A and B are shown apart, each in its own frame.
Chain A
Amino acid sequence: MLENIAAGMDMVLQLDNILASMFGVTIGIIMGAIPGLSDITAICLLLPFTFYLKPIAAIAMLMGLSKGGNFGGSIPAILFNVPGTAQAVVTSYDGYPLTKQGKSGKALKMALYASTMADTLSDFILFFLAAPVATVALMIGPPEYTMLVIFSLVVIGVAGSENFVKGMMAIGMGLFLSVIGLDPVTAKPRFTFGSIELSAGLAVIPIVLGLFVVSEAFRQMELILREKSSRNLNNRYQNQVKKTDNLSDHRVSLAEFKHCLPAIFGGVGIGSALGAIPGIGTTVAAYLSYTYTKRASKHPELFGKGALEGVAAAEAGNNAVVGPNLIPLITLGIPGNLAAALILGAFMMQGLIPGPLFMQQYAPMLYALFTVLIISNVFTFTVGSLFVNYVRHLTYVPKRILYPIVIVFAIVGSYVFRSNLFDLIVMFTFGVLGYIFVKIKIPITPILVSFILGEILEKRMRQALIISGGSFTIFFTKPISLAFFLLTIFVVLFFIRERKKSRI
């Protein structure tokens, strides 16, 4: 193990990897800080370029983007009550009241400390748990793997959607898209309609850029037009950030940090536990961590009015998801959330297939990944500390100029990946579809995750059926497979019950 750790560190500690990580963190913070853009936008836009980087540099840049963007999202949430990312909504509960009290610097610094500390602790959980989970993962065969993927997809569809039926429908759509191209076993064409471009199947990059970047740009441009038509185009952020001259209002004292430590550790526990389960995202972790800290606090009445613990809990909760989220990705090849799905896409583009055999074939790679995560945290802390006082200016970027530029970058990203103009059509089509899906409340994240997992699910399912001579009973007679089937039923019933309760 020690030689693997040394080999992993040796792979990472090179100038290009470190620069890639620093670049990723910086761009991530900048894009996360601009309302309407996010860590996901940053990853989507830069994903095509990672194809041309070495594997470690590519992963370092993506992890940097993810971590930087995660923190960056909290900046507009704290300063203007405009969360840059979904998970930053919870940060704004107490962050914005602190800004109104003139303590924006304190809130931003606490967000930075809590997020980097929680992130680092959660990375250690990945470090210690990945190897044992991978050992267990080696024991599962095609039927068990099939049911595991179905379980993960169902959790992602049910937990990550406002309406679980639409989440399940989105999963079906993603799986359907994955069958376009050549059959993975017999290489016969399917749904190609005589097109050479479709024979290679749909590429991940244009779908990602269409669904997440172009559709978001369309939505934002629609909002701009609405505001324009209602003559309300005055800058939403024109109200200046209130600042006091008292220095202590802009730094976190040691006593305040110590006071917030239980909230941070609570957030790490909750975020890490949820992060290991595919589909339960950072937003849920931030919310539960916040609720837990509020309940445990001696002064719950201060929450929502500018409690520093509230900021720490929310940021710790959402950042603690990052490390454990990579456990199912590395050991089973199943991405826990959208960022992990995009990172899986990057792994696959580099010819690395995460899964049960990954630890055997590329053991130093895990430790390299771990080192990358720690380096990214160091950069998030240092770059974040430097940016905290200046990054607020980014939130003034006029959206009327920003979104057309974003679309041009989406065009560049779609093209450079394969130098294929057909990918631009795919990106446009998925941009329009993504816009429509968001309007009719069909979640788009499950579409992408199931699209990425579709091929592997089909292969394993067909392998299992070949083993059983075509009998589906193989999925219900193997103990682990049956356990995942029952777990899937349980999860669906659990969420139906919870939704009914919340409606009542």
Chain B
Amino acid sequence: MNRDQKIGIIILIFCIVIWFFVIPAQVAGRRESFFPRFTTIWILISNFFLIVQSWKVVPNKISYELLDKKTIFQFIAIVFIFLICILTIDFLGFFIPTFLFLVITMSVLGVRDWRVLILVPLVLLLSIHFLIEKLLVFPLPKGRIF
């Protein structure tokens, strides 16, 4: 099974779930559910053609040949750290999670000079503080703990 066939099956399942379970549960009324059903049909028709097309044209595989296990781990770690950063902003405020995110991500990406690792986040976050909070008076998340 090639990539597009897998995508086709996932989208088919998504549309079935939306049509038979989510719309009846989440959308009350015939008029209200008209457009969601219209969009689902739109996706289904496109999906039908994608599946038909995928039997004729085999798509290129996603290129992972340069990715060894360590690289995959590092990439997932960056995405995960980003998620953690966002989730902790509510508790720790804007500056601590983003400072840690910047330091960790830059070091994972290969920055080895500790002065760069400390100074870049520091200068950036101070600039954001003065520019966004002081000058433009936009509030940044404060956090529940600090």
Residues of A within 8 A of B (CB): 49, 52, 163, 165-166, 168-169, 171-173, 175-176, 179, 183, 185-186, 188-193, 218, 221-222, 224-226, 228-230, 233, 398-401, 403-405, 407-408, 411-412, 415-416, 419, 421, 424-425, 427-428, 431-432, 439-442, 454, 458, 461-462, 465
* A407 adjacent to B82 (CB under 8 Å): yes
Q: CB distance A176 to B128 under 8 Å? A: no
- Ordered by A's residue number, 11 sampled pairs between the chains whose C-beta atoms are within 8 Å are A52-B138, A172-B46, A218-B75, A225-B75, A228-B110, A229-B66, A229-B67, A233-B110, A404-B102, A411-B89, A442-B7
Contacts of B116 in A (CB 8 A): 401
Across the interface, which residues of B come within 8 angstroms of A169, CB to CB?
A: 11, 43, 46-47, 50
B51-89 to A contact mask, C-beta < 8 Å, 1/0: 001000001001000111011001100110011011001
| Cβ A432 vs Cβ B138 within 8 A | no
What residues of chain B lie closer than 8 Å to A424, measured between beta carbons? 86, 89
A228 to B94, CA, bound (A): 30
Closest chain A residue, CB of each to CB of B29: A188
**When A169-B47, A176-B43, A229-B71 are in contact, do A439 and B62 touch as well, CB less than 8 Å?**
yes
Complex Cα distance A178/B95, Å?
33
Find out whether the CB atom of B29 lies under 8 angstroms from the CB atom of A186.
yes
Which chain B positions have C-beta within 8 A of A221?
75, 78, 105, 109
| B124: interface (CB < 8 Å) | yes
Which of A226, A408, A439 has most chain B Cβ within 10 Å?
A408
Are the CB atoms of A224 and B110 closer together than 8 Å?
yes
With beta carbons under 8 angstroms apart, the residue of A172, A224, A399 that contacts B39 is A172
Question: B13: CB under 8 A from chain A?
Answer: no
Contacts of B3 in A (CB 8 A): 440
Q: Known contacts A421-B89, A421-B90, A440-B62: does B43 contact A165 (CB below 8 Å)?
A: no
Bound: A173/B18 CA distance, A = 12
B138 to chain A: closest CB distance in Å?
4
Please classify how large the interface on chain B is, using the bins under 10, 10 to 19, 20 to 34, 35 or more: 35 or more
User: Which residues of chain B have C-beta atoms less than 8 A from A188's C-beta?
Assistant: 27-29, 32
B98 to chain A, nearest CB (A): 5
A56 to B102, CA, bound (A): 35
Candidate in A179, A218, A416, A419 with the most chain B CB atoms within 10 angstroms = A179
Q: How far is the CA of A462 from the CA of B101 in the complex (A)?
A: 47
Closest to B112 in A: A400
Which chain A residues border B18 with CB–CB below 8 Å? 176
Max chain B Cβ within 10 angstroms of own Cβ: one of A185, A193, A221, A399: A221
Instruction: Please give, as numbers and ranges, the residues of chain B lying within 8 Å of A401 by CB-CB distance.
Output: 106, 111, 116, 120
Rounded to whole Å, the gap between the CB of A491 and the closest CB of chain B is: 15
Is the contact region of chain A dominated by helix, strand, or loop, or is it mixed? helix
A461 touches B138 (CB 8 A): no
Instruction: Report the minimal beta-carbon distance from A416 to chain B, rounded to whole angstroms.
Output: 4
Q: Write out the residue numbers on chain B whose beta carbons fall within 8 Å of the beta carbon of A462.
A: 31, 34-35
Instruction: List residues 3-30 of chain B with CB under 8 A from any CB of chain A.
Output: 3, 7, 11, 18, 22, 26-29
A398 nearest in chain B by CB position: B111
Q: How far is the CA of A395 from the CA of B66 in the complex (A)?
A: 25
Given contacts A175-B39, A407-B82, A408-B124, 11 further A-B contacts (CB under 8 A): A166-B50, A169-B11, A169-B43, A169-B46, A189-B26, A222-B75, A400-B109, A407-B105, A411-B89, A439-B62, A442-B7
Quote the shortest CB–CB distance from B106 to chain A (angstroms): 5
Instruction: Give chain B residues whose Cβ lies under 8 Å from the Cβ of A229.
Output: 66-68, 70-71
Give bound CA distance, A399 to B111, whole Å. Answer: 10
In the complex the two chains form, what is the Cα distance from A425 to B102 in whole Å?
Answer: 18
Chain B residues whose CB sits within 8 angstroms of the CB of A432 once the complex forms: 79
Complex Cα gap A409–B26 (Å): 35
How long is the Cα–Cα vector from A411 to B27 in the complex, in angstroms? 32
Q: Smallest distance from the beta carbon of B129 to chain A beta carbons, Å?
A: 11
Contacts A186-B29, A401-B111 given; does A226 touch B102 at CB 8 Å: no
Q: How many angstroms from the CA of A415 to the CA of B86 in the assembled complex?
A: 11
In the complex, what distance in Å separates the CA atom of A176 from the CA atom of B41? 10
- Which A residue sits closest to B47, measured CB to CB? A169
Could you say which residues of chain B place their CB within 8 Å of the CB of A175?
A: 35, 38-39, 42
Expressed in whole angstroms, the Cα–Cα distance for A197 and B74 within the complex equals 33
Asked if B146 is at the interface of the complex by the 8 Å CB criterion, the answer is no
* A contact residues around B67 at 8 Å (CB): 225-226, 229
A410, closest chain B residue (CB): B82
A168 touches B46 (CB 8 A): yes
| In the complex, chain B residues whose CB is within 8 Å of the CB of A171 | 42, 46
User: From residue B58, how far is it (CB to closest CB) to chain A in Å?
Assistant: 13
How long is the Cα–Cα vector from A179 to B33 in the complex, in angstroms? Answer: 9
Interchain CB contact under 8 A, A458 and B35: yes
